[in-house]
Amino acid sequence: MTRILTAKTHNGCSIEHDDRFEGVKAVPLRAPLVVTRGLRLTGEQIVTWRKLQGLTAEQVAERAGISRNTLRSIEQGTGNASSETCSGS
């Protein structure tokens, strides 16, 4: 009997173990379109707010306690911030 077991990892991949294959393979999961659009819109709003405040990306990243690269990803709509980062915990 063939069994396929699936589990999700912390980074958004699903791990499948298939008895037919001796091993594990990671399959990237795609976010639903509404989530992708929401991330892009949020990023655009952050850029607009930052520029209206006259702040550099470096200043915002430092104040938020995140790296400049993380802020860049968020502004481009490709970031994935954890709930701890978003809540400031």
Query: Mean per-residue pLDDT for 1-11?
Result: 60
Report the mean per-residue pLDDT for the chain. Answer: 77
Residue entry with tokens 């915990």: 89
Percent residues over pLDDT 70 in the chain: 56
At 69 the pLDDT is 93
**Rounded to two decimals, what is the model's pTM?**
0.58
Residues 27-62: tens digit of each pLDDT = 667 778 888 899 999 999 999 999 999 999 999 999
Class of the CATH domain delimited by 33-79: mainly alpha
Sign of the alpha-carbon torsion through 60, 86, 49, 78: positive
How do the domains of the chain map onto residue ranges?
A: 1-30, 33-79
User: Is the pLDDT confidence value at 78 over 90?
Assistant: no
Q: Please report the pLDDT score of residue 15 as a whole number.
A: 61
Residue 6, phi then psi, degrees to nearest 5: -125, 135
Both tokens assigned to 11: 């980074």
State yes or no: pLDDT of 79 exceeds 50. Answer: yes
